[in-house]
Amino acid sequence: MRGIYTPVTDIRRKVFTEVARMAYEVDDMQDYAYLLKELPYRIIPGEEGNMRSSIFLERAIVSERIRLAMGLSLRPINESVPATDNLEQSVIADKYYEPPLINVIKFACNKCPEKIIKVSQLCQSCLAHPCQEVCPKKAISFLNGRSHIDQEKCVKCGRCVNACPYGAIVKIDRPCAAACGMGAIHSDEYGRADIDYDKCVSCGMCLVNCPFGAIVDKSQIFQLIQSIKRGDRVIAIVAPAFINQFPGLTPGKLRSAIRALGFADIAEVAVGADLCAIDEAQDFMKEVPAEHPFMATSCCPAWSMMAKKLFPDHADCISMAMTPMVLTARLVKQVDKNARICFIGPCAAKKLEAARRTVRSEVDFVLTFEELMGLFEAKAVDFSEFPEEPNTNLQSASADGRGFAVAGGVAQAVVNVIKKIDPEREVKVASATGLSECRKLLTMAKAGKYNGYLLEGMACPGGCIAGAGTIADPAKSAAMLKILKSKSTKKNCDETPYKEGLELLKY
């Protein structure tokens, strides 16, 4: 459902906007407590609901969404806990994160079946009944002249689905589970979605694929704005996937728009991508095949975590290069030691990456593009009011660095750096997007099918431009990114002026 504005999208963005507005405009704890109870009525006005069975249920769900957007935890269903519970833990200017990041609001879940094959009304009672003939378990019979599937015998192989000439048999899977490449979503005892956090890598694909808006991630909107209001010098480091996310917001207007929110300045994460590509190129040339049979890229935290969880024996084949987010943060802090860093990008998993002990000192906040839109709307920022700035901090990255945002871009950037260093060296590449395909890729690599290869994995199908925190249609964003790359004054990551200091950034 990427790029489609749905009622679920509308509610999600209204929540971000109202939470941001509250953070900007209110300072008193009593006012926060009042608004925390009042906002569901502003977001869902009137006396009758139009989306669920009851307007009270709609408001209860919105209330939980507001708490999560403030960084607070879900309240237990079986206890009487006020909406203001632990509010004081949220009204702080320092990074606040209490796992889990991805949460299921249980009473918002539709209790979708995990996987089922059903015969629809389109069944024509044909004489050939190929569905029955191909079923390996003899689970299909004919009742009253129509096809019937015995669910006790059915093994969900899908042969009948493919055999039916009328498309009358459908295979239905829980959307969140189908989107989860880790197999982390199952049903609890009541049939509601439940997340196995030992498997979850926080890619957020379940979040954007739940048609009922029952899955929500936590946010740092509230803490970020508290930091800005405190007077901290907060620098926004912006991922290259920002292009096309905000209608009317061009690269030349981005700095002005970001400053209108209270940020001190911006920097381009693609600069860190340039350094990441150089580091990975050097590691690949040194380690493959001398030390490791293959090397996998490191910039996607969900892919990297998946690889380490499921393929621990090959964890050392994942590049140790720091991600573009961390490298960019370190670059900024070299110049401005007192700056606080807010990464703004398309990725839910970056929130988890920033919470790691090794990264906490570098990145203070993480916002998705969708959350950033909430800030723009809360401050009523009009992009048309800003002039185009020809010289901004979005001038120093290479085209290849910006290409990290699309599938295949990371590997291509690394290969291009290797070619500069050793034009004669052949570099074989294999890539995958979506964690299901990434698992297949690493399974084949484990079997020795990709010895000597550079492997690129991205958790989100299509790459970062289709991340869980994006707003726009990924296909259009990819086209716009191509235009942005064509305007880059540098083509190859190796052309970055910051490469001489790369070794210092790594320690």
Tell me: do 147 and 211 sit in the same domain: no
Tell me: do 146 and 205 sit in the same domain: no
Structural domain for 309, as ranges: 223-505
Tell me: do 401 and 475 sit in the same domain: yes
Q: The domain that contains 156 carries what CATH number?
A: 3.30.70.20
Tell me: do 94 and 131 sit in the same domain: no
pLDDT computed for residue 360 by the predictor = 67
CA–CA dist 277, 9 (Å, integer): 35
Tell me: do 346 and 450 sit in the same domain: yes
**Edge-to-edge strand ranges of the sheet holding 365-368:** 265-268, 234-238, 340-345, 365-368
* Count of CB atoms situated within 10 Å of the CB of 360: 12
Tell me: do 37 and 153 sit in the same domain: no
- How much is the average pLDDT of 23-40? 96
pLDDT at 393 over 60: no
Amino acid at 370: E
pLDDT, tens digit, 9 for 90 and up, residues 314-363: 999 999 999 999 999 999 999 999 999 999 999 999 999 998 877 667 99
CA pseudo-torsion sign 148, 152, 153, 159: positive
Buried b (16+ CB within 10 A) or exposed e, 98-132: eeebbbbbbebbeebeeeebebeeebeeeeebebb
Query: Would you say the pTM of this structure is higher than 0.85?
Result: yes
The number of distinct structural domains making up the chain is 3
| Position 330 in a domain | yes
Mean pLDDT of the chain: 94
- How much is the average pLDDT of 205-213? 96
Tell me: do 99 and 139 sit in the same domain: no
Tell me: do 262 and 202 sit in the same domain: no
